[in-house]
């Protein structure tokens, strides 16, 4: 096994040298280390050697060959480039609207979810000349070599982030970025035209549904984008790809981009998020939740129309069932008495599912076939956009919800009857409050379920 070479490598602590060597070997063997492991490596190398020397070690071990350099640049946003040089620009929401959102109604333990108030961001789909995107990166390299990021005025600094989570970013301090500029011919694919759904968090269901899926739903409205080949990250869950195929059909060209490959297109289409999605939020302590407001009144009609299209395309059932959407009890944000709660709900007639075990179309069929849903806090909440208007949703969660009010206005605009059942926190996560575990009061939940029949009635 090759070892990092040079005098600098010899000064690395043993643990750092081992990590560098291990990840380098994995890449040479065709493996794809998780972005969190690469972020850990970047952090360790910079702590021991400083950005420039650390980059040389990182590059020579993980990205060998000529053509990889470190580019220092100020923050450049996708929005400013779209407004000044896009070949085509479809503005869906002008931004600047004041959005206020209250937390949903709740029962049980106290809920610490402050009301939100902020201004919406500009939302658009844009086409750039000779732009390049890279697998698992949210950055876009413009034709002049500058990397643009989906940040808008006043967002950076309001949420604690480490943007070196993005494979393109080696270091970031404030608005000063050091970007990894890979110009190797062996890692580039050229296309006449493409629409990018690549990104840092495309492996995660919640991020996919909240970001890339909605990018596609936005873009499919425009004839000049609708027939363009689509780029997705290789290795994402199959359901994520299925969520696109469900609309465009199996014959539409979808290109799965492997890690470390860049795609340059004469005409590269990209879309921005409806909300600021920090990459990577390192803690929710000290975060300003007002930075994350969503213009639900604009998003909801687009999502409802998309789901109605799926009704027609896939002959989906009416809403009748009672459903319990659960999550892996070994993961964070678990319910300490989950077995008890599951048994109680199943006895009441609720069908228990784990969405990740279903195809995308079966997920949609299941969600739209339910008139009452009990759901655990987690990424499955994002799947609730698939529900029919009027669906009764009872969200099981704990009280420490710094971003909880985001759900209030958004689900109201989606015409979904959302109420929180708040349990007592039993395992407080001191880095991410939202990831804490909790216990649900079975008597309270039983009373709620009794007064929320699946096919009508209410509390």
CA 99 to chain centroid: 21
Average pLDDT taken over every residue of the chain: 94
Q: Is 213 inside any structural domain?
A: yes
> How large is the average pLDDT for residues 337-366?
96
Q: Is 33 inside any structural domain?
A: yes
Among the three residues 258, 290, 322, which one is the final residue of a domain in this structure?
290
Note whether 44 and 87 are same-domain residues.
no
> How large is the average pLDDT for residues 366-391?
94
Q: Is 111 inside any structural domain?
A: no
Residue 387's pLDDT band (cuts 50, 70, 90): very high
pLDDT at residue number 2:
40
Residue percentage of the chain with pLDDT more than 90: 86
Structural domain that includes position 203:
73-100+123-290
Q: Is 106 inside any structural domain?
A: no
> How large is the average pLDDT for residues 3-27?
77
Note whether 335 and 402 are same-domain residues.
yes
Q: Is 112 inside any structural domain?
A: no
> How large is the average pLDDT for residues 110-121?
96
pTM to 2 decimals? 0.94
Note whether 216 and 337 are same-domain residues.
no
Q: Summarize pLDDT for 136-192 with one digit per residue, the tens.
A: 999 999 999 999 999 999 999 999 999 999 999 999 999 999 999 999 999 999 999
**Per-residue DSSP letters for 230-264?**
EEEETTS-HHHHHHHHHHH-TTS-EEEEPTT-EEE
**Per-residue DSSP letters for 39-58?**
HHHHHHHHHHH-HHHHHHHH
Q: Summarize pLDDT for 52-61 with one digit per residue, the tens.
A: 899 999 999 8
- Whether residue 405 is predicted with pLDDT greater than 90 in this model: the reply is yes
Q: Which letter, b or e, does each residue of 350-383 get, where b requires 16 or more Cβ atoms within 10 Å of its Cβ?
A: beebebeebebbebbbbbbbbbbbbbbbbbbbbb
Q: Summarize pLDDT for 186-223 with one digit per residue, the tens.
A: 999 999 999 999 999 999 999 999 999 999 999 999 99
State the DSSP H helix or E strand holding residue 427, giving kind and residue range, or none if neither: strand 417-427
d(CA 194, CA 204) in angstroms, rounded, equals 23
The bridge status of strand 262-271 relative to strand 321-325 is: unpaired
> Which has the higher per-residue pLDDT, 328 or 2?
328
Residue 10's pLDDT band (cuts 50, 70, 90): low
Residue percentage of the chain with pLDDT more than 70: 97
> How large is the average pLDDT for residues 74-102?
98
Note whether 313 and 248 are same-domain residues.
no
Note whether 406 and 384 are same-domain residues.
yes
pLDDT at residue number 49:
81
CATH number where 438 lies:
3.40.50
Angle between helices 406-413 and 296-314 (to 10 degrees): 50
> How large is the average pLDDT for residues 417-435?
94
Note whether 261 and 306 are same-domain residues.
no
> How large is the average pLDDT for residues 389-417?
95
3-state secondary structure at position 280: coil
- Whether residue 7 is predicted with pLDDT greater than 70 in this model: the reply is no
d(CA 405, CA 101) in angstroms, rounded, equals 6
Based on the structure, what is the number of domains in the chain?
A: 3
Note whether 329 and 409 are same-domain residues.
yes
> Which has the higher per-residue pLDDT, 15 or 252?
252
3-state secondary structure at position 323: strand
State the DSSP H helix or E strand holding residue 423, giving kind and residue range, or none if neither: strand 417-427
Among the three residues 233, 265, 290, which one is the final residue of a domain in this structure?
290
Q: Is 351 inside any structural domain?
A: yes
- Whether residue 457 is predicted with pLDDT greater than 50 in this model: the reply is no
- Whether residue 449 is predicted with pLDDT greater than 50 in this model: the reply is yes
pLDDT at residue number 317:
86
Residue bearing tokens 């982030």: 161
Note whether 407 and 318 are same-domain residues.
yes
- Whether residue 372 is predicted with pLDDT greater than 60 in this model: the reply is yes
> How large is the average pLDDT for residues 122-140?
99
pLDDT at residue number 6:
52
Q: Which letter, b or e, does each residue of 59-76 get, where b requires 16 or more Cβ atoms within 10 Å of its Cβ?
A: bbbbbeeeebebeeeebb
Q: Phi/psi of residue 44, each to 5°?
A: -65, -45
Note whether 223 and 310 are same-domain residues.
no
State the DSSP H helix or E strand holding residue 206, giving kind and residue range, or none if neither: helix 205-210
Q: Where are the beta strands (DSSP E) in 67-210?
A: 68-74, 88-93, 98-101, 105-108, 116-119, 123-134, 140-141, 147-148, 169-173, 176-182, 188-196
- The closest of 419, 121, 127, 125 to 298, measured between CA atoms, is 121
Among the three residues 263, 290, 317, which one is the final residue of a domain in this structure?
290
CA dihedral 184, 190, 193, 196 (to 10 degrees): -40
> How large is the average pLDDT for residues 253-263?
97
Phi/psi zone of residue 17: left (φ > 0), alpha (ψ -120 to 50 degrees), beta? alpha
Note whether 361 and 241 are same-domain residues.
no
Q: Is 458 inside any structural domain?
A: no
Residue 13's pLDDT band (cuts 50, 70, 90): confident
Note whether 402 and 265 are same-domain residues.
no
- Whether residue 377 is predicted with pLDDT greater than 90 in this model: the reply is yes
pLDDT at residue number 219:
97
CA 457 to chain centroid: 35
pLDDT at residue number 456:
45
Residue 458's pLDDT band (cuts 50, 70, 90): very low
- Whether residue 1 is predicted with pLDDT greater than 60 in this model: the reply is no
Note whether 366 and 255 are same-domain residues.
no
Q: Is 108 inside any structural domain?
A: no
């Amino acid at each position: 096994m090759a070892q990092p070479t040079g005098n600098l490598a010899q000064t690395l602590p043993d643990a750092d040298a081992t990590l560098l060597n291990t990840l380098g070997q994995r890449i040479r063997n065709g493996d794809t280390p998780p972005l969190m492991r690469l972020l850990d490596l970047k952090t360790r190398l910079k702590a021991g050697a400083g950005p420039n020397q650390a980059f040389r070690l990182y590059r020579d071990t993980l990205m060998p060959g000529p053509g990889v350099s470190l580019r220092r640049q100020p923050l450049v946003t996708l929005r400013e480039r779209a407004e000044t040089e896009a070949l085509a620009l479809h503005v869906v929401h002008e931004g600047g609207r004041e959005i206020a959102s209250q937390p949903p109604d709740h029962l049980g333990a106290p809920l610490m979810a402050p009301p939100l108030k902020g201004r919406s961001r500009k939302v658009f789909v844009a086409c750039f000349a000779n732009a390049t995107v890279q697998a698992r990166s949210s950055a876009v390299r413009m034709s002049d070599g500058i990397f643009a990021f989906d940040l808008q005025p006043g967002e950076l600094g309001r949420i604690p982030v480490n943007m070196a989570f993005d494979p393109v970013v080696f270091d970031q301090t404030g608005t000063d970025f050091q970007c990894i500029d890979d110009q190797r011919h062996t890692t580039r694919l050229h296309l006449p035209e493409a629409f990018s759904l690549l990104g840092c968090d495309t492996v995660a269901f919640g991020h996919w549904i909240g970001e890339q899926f909605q990018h596609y739903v936005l873009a499919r409205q425009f004839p000049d984008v609708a027939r363009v080949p689509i780029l997705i990250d290789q290795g994402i869950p199959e359901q994520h790809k299925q969520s696109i195929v469900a609309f465009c059909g199996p014959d539409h060209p979808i290109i799965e981009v492997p890690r470390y490959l860049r795609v340059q297109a004469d005409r590269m289409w990209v879309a921005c998020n409806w909300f600021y999605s920090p990459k990577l939020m390192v803690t929710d302590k000290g975060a300003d939740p007002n930075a994350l407001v969503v213009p639900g009144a604009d998003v909801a009609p687009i999502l409802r129309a998309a789901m109605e299209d799926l009704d027609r395309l896939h002959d989906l059932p009416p809403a009748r069932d009672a459903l319990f959407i659960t999550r892996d009890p070994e993961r964070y944000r678990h319910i300490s008495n989950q077995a008890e709660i599951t048994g109680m709900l199943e006895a009441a007639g609720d069908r228990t599912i784990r969405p990740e075990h279903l195809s995308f179309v079966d997920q949609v069929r299941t969600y739209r076939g339910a008139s009452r849903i009990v759901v655990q806090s987690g990424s499955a909440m994002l799947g609730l956009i698939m529900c029919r208007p009027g669906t009764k949703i009872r969200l099981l969660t704990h009280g420490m919800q710094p971003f909880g009010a985001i759900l209030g206005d958004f689900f109201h605009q989606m015409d979904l009857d959302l109420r929180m059942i708040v349990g007592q926190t039993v395992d407080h996560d001191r880095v991410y409050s939202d990831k804490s575990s909790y216990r649900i009061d079975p008597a309270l939940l039983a009373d709620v379920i009794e007064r929320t029949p699946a096919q009508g009635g209410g509390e």
